[in-house]
């Protein structure tokens, strides 16, 4: 089935540094990808919609200058957390839309997530 | 108003028994879709089942079935013959509208299912 690879699966960084998270669709083209954040014991909250070749659309309250999203190809979207602070520590997970899902399959595929810890 | 409501923070079920996880939704868009995901402690989102608003029949996938009651705006997940490996968080989610951006999901708060041996 369709696979979305997300890398790294976990990362620890120091406060003030930047971290890049990659989301790659391995066997399908994803013109649209989505980035979510999940705090412990909470639900997933949409951060932004990433469109190939154009600027990302950010949800209200999400700082676009802090969470930089680039979707330069049909198979890769990246999320860069700039000048990370401890409050940015969270689980970040991407999903990609599959325009040709298998019968009974999901039109969306999630990566395995990235656990970010900022010290 | 919340778009997705999961009223059961936690549920217990005996192994081999069936369990129903509740989900109600709120939308005025005639085109929408409902998803159920399982999230084990490792964090990955495992797709279970999908129901489109125009689908005539309730979705089923193996031991999972979705009890879709459109007039009541409910989309409950039924897991038959529970297994110990079913213990996890379960999220109901909805997409609204048509077009590429309509696949951004709104998630409920989740239900933690514990299967008892």
Give residue-wise pLDDT tens across range B58-68: 999 999 999 99
Residue A107 pLDDT class (50, 70, 90 cuts): confident
Residue B105 pLDDT class (50, 70, 90 cuts): very high
Which comes out higher in pLDDT, residue B91 or A98?
B91
Would you say residue B111 has pLDDT above 90? yes
Cβ atoms of A34 and A58 within 8 Å: the answer is: no
Contact A43 B105 (CB under 8 A): no
Percent of chain B exceeding pLDDT 90 equals 91
A&B contacts, CB < 8 Å: 62
Residue B43 pLDDT class (50, 70, 90 cuts): very high
Percent of chain A exceeding pLDDT 90 equals 74
d(CA A69, CA A55): 8
Classified as helix, coil or strand, A116 is strand
- Residue B101: per-residue pLDDT: 66
Cβ atoms of A113 and A22 within 8 Å: the answer is: no
Contact B100 A32 (CB under 8 A): yes
* Residue to test with chain A: of B37, B47, B54, B58, most A Cβ within 10 A: B47
Helix then strand count (H, E) for chain B reads: 0, 12
Which of A93, A97, A106 comes nearest B47 by C-beta? A106
Which of A31, A32, A113 comes nearest B44 by C-beta? A113
d(CA A58, CA A63): 8
Would you say residue A101 has pLDDT above 80? no
CB atoms within 10 A of CB B43: 17
Contact B91 A43 (CB under 8 A): yes
Average pLDDT over residues B90-111: 89
Contact A32 B50 (CB under 8 A): no
Cβ atoms of B86 and B55 within 8 Å: the answer is: no
Residue B80 pLDDT class (50, 70, 90 cuts): very high
CB atoms within 10 A of CB A107: 19
Contact A34 B106 (CB under 8 A): no
Cβ atoms of B94 and B106 within 8 Å: the answer is: yes
């Amino acid at each position: 089935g369709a696979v979305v690879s997300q890398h790294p699966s976990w990362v620890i960084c120091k406060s003030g540094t930047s971290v890049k998270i990659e989301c790659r669709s391995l066997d399908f083209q994803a013109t649209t990808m989505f980035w979510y954040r999940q705090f412990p014991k909470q639900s997933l909250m949409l951060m932004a919609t990433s469109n190939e070749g154009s600027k990302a659309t950010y949800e209200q309250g999400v700082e676009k200058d802090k969470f930089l999203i680039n979707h330069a190809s049909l198979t890769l979207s990246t999320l860069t957390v700039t000048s990370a602070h401890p409050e940015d520590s969270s689980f970040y997970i991407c999903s990609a839309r599959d325009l040709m899902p298998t019968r009974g399959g999901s039109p969306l595929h999630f990566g395995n997530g990235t656990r970010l810890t900022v010290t | 108003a919340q778009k997705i409501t999961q009223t059961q923070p936690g549920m217990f079920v005996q192994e081999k028994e069936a369990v129903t996880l509740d989900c109600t939704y709120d939308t005025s868009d005639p085109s929408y879709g409902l998803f159920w995901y399982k999230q084990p402690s490792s964090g990955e989102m495992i797709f279970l089942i999908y129901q489109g608003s125009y689908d005539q029949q309730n979705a089923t996938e193996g031991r999972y079935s979705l009890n879709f009651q459109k007039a009541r705006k409910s989309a409950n997940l039924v897991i038959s013959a529970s297994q110990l490996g079913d213990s996890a968080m379960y999220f109901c989610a909805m997409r609204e509208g048509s077009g590429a951006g309509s696949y951004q999901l709104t998630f409920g708060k989740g239900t933690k299912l514990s299967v008892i041996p």
